[in-house]
Amino acid sequence: MSYKAKSIWFYNPTVSTPQIRQAIQKFSESWLPIHSRDNDLQLYHYTTINGLKGIIGNRSIWFTHISTLNDPTELKYGKELIINLIKNEINKKNDLIINKILTLLIEEINRFDEIMYETYVACFCESDNLLSQWRGYATKGGGYNIGLVITSDTKFYHTLDESEKESYIILRKIIYNAEIQNKIIKDYISLIIKYLNDAIKYYKSRGGFPAIWENMAAMESVNILFDIMFTLKNSVFSEENEWRLIIVRQTDHKANQLQFRENEKGLIPYINTFIIEKNENDLFFPIRSINIGPMLDVTKTKSALKLFIRKESASESKIKINANGIRILNAGYSLRE
């Protein structure tokens, strides 16, 4: 199975500009393959014993509000990088219409996750055995990581009510290299400006622009910039090899699905999300492996995990667990004294 990344689209303005759509489509031809895989995409979620029990028992993952993640500059880093590069472009231009649209893009980016939208993410790692992940997210090596397979057919729901529609969730690979980050943003801005110039010539040849066209053009163009913004992270975190599942919601959307847990830092908002793969008429949780942290006793932990998985696979649930398809592995080294 493969995973083909989906486009994300926040704004569909009442007046669409065909030239902007062409620019977005052209950019997506190189953008979406970064976040796609031709083979199985197996990702690992490092967690505690309570996290392991909750994820397997409920067949779900918690998507937490992006402001509560380990990097306090989440989103801010991407926002500032994109805005600075747009400002550089404005300083080079003398075109009033183009500069107005670029300025409106900056306004839209500044508003994101502060006024219009809230972002929730579930974080994964490409590596199934990374010491920094064991220490940071799995009880300093005394926890676990859960290996899940994500494909283009994977489904996401916030309840198991059959009447509820599937939740729209995107998966993105995090980009850490500053040079690559800058190139991606510059390439998109250049492409948008090129096609905006084509649109301007088109409308001028027909006697004028639609009402508030600059605003509509900015709303349409900013969709990709939001998408890019989610993937940018400071290079100091590069060892994490992170992928993230992302939910973006309007601030007043389905507040009843929002839940809260607490830790030493206060309240943590999250959205519980079931992850499902379909096999003929059955629904399965797409878990493929459980790795044991290097601080745990391998023999005792393996025995307990096998019993736990057997019990959970036999429990009543609309989502089944294939106990025979789950590999239990150990880190291959020990941090215990």
Alpha helices in 38-177 (DSSP H): 49-58, 76-92, 96-111, 131-137
**What percentage of the chain reaches a pLDDT higher than 90?**
75
Q: How far apart are CA 303 and CA 301, in angstroms?
A: 5
Q: Which tokens sit at 275?
A: 């992850």
**74: pLDDT strictly greater than 70:** yes
80-90 residue pLDDT tens? 999 999 999 99
**252: pLDDT strictly greater than 70:** no
Spans of all domains in the chain: 18-330
Residue 94 three-state SS: coil
Q: What is the pLDDT of residue 71?
A: 73
Q: What is the pLDDT of residue 75?
A: 86
Record the pTM. 0.93
Which element (helix H / strand E) includes 144? strand 144-150
253-282 residue pLDDT tens? 667 788 998 877 789 999 999 999 988 889
Q: What is the C-alpha R_g of the chain? A: 22
Q: Which residues pair with 244 in a beta bridge?
A: 123, 172
Instruction: State the average pLDDT over residues 218-228.
Output: 96
